[in-house]
Amino acid sequence: MTKKIIHTDHAPKAIGPYSQAIEINGMLYISGQIPIIPETGEIAEGIEAQTEQVMKNIGAILKEAGYGYEHVVKSTCLLSDMANFKAMNEVYGKYYAENPPARAAFAVKTLPLNVLIEIETIAVK
């Protein structure tokens, strides 16, 4: 049982003592992704753009590890305000149009860098 650290420059660097993702036993655990644009370090604006950027960041990590969105089995969506749930859901749903993963969505008091959304992901091959 060997864990493999996954890192790509096409997703934001970790802003703390954690890895972008860990692969172990055919499972990929992706740390919560926030809407940092990796090329500029800026944060996308608005819930739709932030959700889109988070999904792109997740996609870059999936790709680096040799996975795709079709391998995602569980997502946890953290929102700064449940009023953003519908708009987030519309963007999120584009990435999982068929056979969507299991999911939980929570409103939390504050997210890193005061973003509107963070999503953590588990994928399995």
Whether 118 is in a domain gets the answer: yes
Q: Which pLDDT score, from 0 to 100, does residue 16 have?
A: 87
Residue-wise pLDDT tens digits, 29-80: 999 999 999 999 999 999 999 999 999 999 999 999 999 999 999 999 999 9
**Segments forming the whole domain that contains residue 109:** 4-74+85-124
In this structure, are residues 95 and 123 in contact, taking their beta carbons and an 8 Å threshold? no
Q: What is the pLDDT of residue 58?
A: 98
Number of domains in the chain: 1
pLDDT band at 90 (very low <50, low <70, confident <90, very high): very high
CA–CA separation, 38 and 10 (whole Å) = 6
CATH number of the domain to which 58 belongs: 3.30.1330.40
Residue 80 located in a structural domain: no
Does residue 26 sit within a domain?
Answer: yes
Q: Is 104 helix (H, G, I), strand (E, B) or coil?
A: strand
| Number of helical H runs and strand E runs in the chain | 2, 6
